[in-house]
Amino acid sequence: MNVAESIKLKRQRLNMTQKELADAIGLGKFGDRTVRRWEKGECKPSHLEINAILNFPEKAPFKDSEDAPYKMIDLFAGIGGTRLGFHQTGKVKNVFSSEWDKFSQKTYYANFGEQPQGDITKINEKDIPDHDILVAGFPCQAFSQAGKKLGFEDTRGTLFFDVARILKEKRPAAFLLENVKNLKSHDHGRTFKVIMNTLHDLNYEVSYALFKARDFGAPQNRERIYIVGLNKDKVKNSNLFEFPIPPKPKTRVGDILEEHVDSKYTISDKLWAGHQRRKRENKAKGKGFGYTLFNANSPYTNTISARYYKDGSEILIEQKGKNPRKVTPREAARLQGFPENYIIPVSDTQAYKEFGNSVCVLTIHAIAENIIEFLDKNLEK
């Protein structure tokens, strides 16, 4: 088999477009054109490039143990960041997942070997397998400062009730919900009150904590609310559950930065000039919004968001003698605490959206360890 055929067959097995493969192996700005020419036999990749393609992993790295003691379901799964934190305990087997975004489904499949089911609002709660733990990062647009501030009046806000109807039907021993920190203060606290009342009415002992990603070792100032519930009918001493104490290690942005980053991540003169102009205008108006520069010695970055692919303004990395650059998708993964063997099988644009929407795996893992340890001691067998 010739090189052109090998590349094309490999790409087809990976279910990747030419653009996705180009970004995944780190080609430059017009990498998809290069892949197209390779596949047509018009030119040949270097030895390094062909190795990068042929060695790109085809097996999902995060398969659950079949004899894990606890069953879990993963709702609004995204790319499986919450699942991954639980998987790392070695004690959880996922039996159902739901995610409607086709690119996130692709990333999820590449890493866990399972295709999530689609829109949770169209899935009957009776059809969901029995499970011990439910996890959900229910969409937070309705509760975010950046959203419309409509909460439960916003149709996306009601997606919380899909979590509630599944809890009511399946009665798992425990759940973990994750959301933006503004959930607590939204609509003068009324939104959070409705959520807590709903969970209490389902007979769960509920506690919550606000954690920053950097307090668990990821160099990012991402603050989120984590809500844990324990089923009072199944779990003894449910009121005694405690969240982990953040270890608060020293973090440094340099620890997640790649060497030899392609010039396609350096922002254009036009974009850089626009960032600087907007910052000046905002400063004159007394607003604090604008780009933020970081370097290897910065302790942590701002929070990466799903819109990062647009202009990268919230996290720009300084470069000597040239315009700053965006973080790469792999650096974005590291900012969220994803391990190095986590596969990124989508274009850079989609990868930024996915990691911006995801969770800090290090924080989830710490909470998961506490939940599992508590269930080990207190779950009525």
Residues noted as catalytic: 140
Asked if 252 and 295 touch (Cβ cutoff 8 Å), the reply is no
> What is the chain's Cα-based Rg?
22
What is the torsional sign of CA 8, 10, 11, 12? Answer: positive
Residues sharing a CB contact under 8 Å with residue 222, sequence separation 6 or more, in sequence order? 212, 213, 214, 303, 304, 336, 360
